Amino acid sequence: MNIFIRELRANFRSLLVWGGIVILFSIMGFAKFTAYYENPELLEVMNSMPPAMLEAFNMNAFNLTTISGFFGVMFTFFALLLSIAAAMWGSDIISKEERDKTVEFSLTLPIRRSSLITAKTLAALVNCVGLLLITWGITLVNVSKYQPDSDFYSFVTLGMLALFIMQIIFLAVGIFLGCAMKQHKRASSTAVFLLLGTYFLSIISGLSENLEFLKFFSPFKYFDAGMLLHESKIDMTFVWLSGVIVLVSMVGAYLTYSRRDLYI
């Protein structure tokens, strides 16, 4: 419990920074929506864009002149921001003990390495939930003046659930890298590199039907905002796949960290 509380305090400033980034991004994004709102001329501009580009960024699934359509496009960017934060928290919360040369102190505590991972993981998970709630709250504040209907609120709720699952995926991958990599200084950069790689795979998979299989390698394609909006459901296949990724990552984290030599 002491480790859990210590990690919450140590990462509180990071949560505030990421929360500030999300709030600023959301305010700026929805400020642009005032120019799109019920503007039919924008639809003509969208229709003139290359179909491949619209498909790659999933923009053809939304009407940007409506608040639901605009949030559908914003969803991808929220996913990117929250996933980067989760990956960095996951990789850094373990590897920082070696980076800051406090691992020797941690190992002198009367706890197992597995307990250390569990406490730090729970602290990082609380940060992820906090950032998600900030995202949810600022979204509702920004759209309130447009008087959205119940369908929009259902869409946002499903979107936040999808964002949370994506956070858990990249948090688990980050924790695994932080536990497994002997070069602890590269854990965070590797986690972000993998995340951005999967993001670009999600773009590439939308360019052609022949590349659609790439979506299984990108969590950014697991939860399609268009499906969330038009069908009001999450594809359970990808929920189960997400669970497998998280389980394998966490089991790998516990196994590798308990066996490897730590840099003191």
Over residues 239-259, the pLDDT tens digits come to: 999 999 999 999 999 998 777
Q: Is the pLDDT of residue 18 over 80?
A: yes
- Per-residue pLDDT tens over the stretch 180-206: 877 767 878 888 899 999 888 888 876
Distance CA 176, CA 251 (A): 8
Distance CA 171, CA 188 (A): 11
Distance CA 94, CA 91 (A): 6
Determine contact, residues 254/246, Cβ cutoff 8 Å: no
Residue 215's pLDDT is 81
What is the model's pTM?
0.88
84 Cβ neighbours under 8 A, 6+ residues apart? 170, 192, 195
Distance CA 79, CA 224 (A): 11
Residue 81's pLDDT is 94
Q: Is the pLDDT of residue 65 over 80?
A: no
Lowest mean pLDDT among 9-23, 137-151, 163-177, 205-219: 205-219
Distance CA 38, CA 78 (A): 23
109 Cβ neighbours under 8 A, 6+ residues apart? 3, 116
Residue 129's pLDDT is 96
Residue 226's pLDDT is 78
Distance CA 121, CA 123 (A): 5
Coil vs helix vs strand at 101: coil
Distance CA 200, CA 80 (A): 11
**Which DSSP letter does residue 243 get?**
H
> In this prediction, what percent of the chain has a pLDDT beyond 70?
80
Q: Is the pLDDT of residue 262 over 60?
A: no
pLDDT band at 156, cuts 50/70/90? very high
- DSSP for 134-163, written as a single string: HHHHHHHHHHGGG---HHHHHHHHHHHHHH
The candidate with the shortest Cα–Cα distance to 254, out of 122, 98, 102, 118, is 118
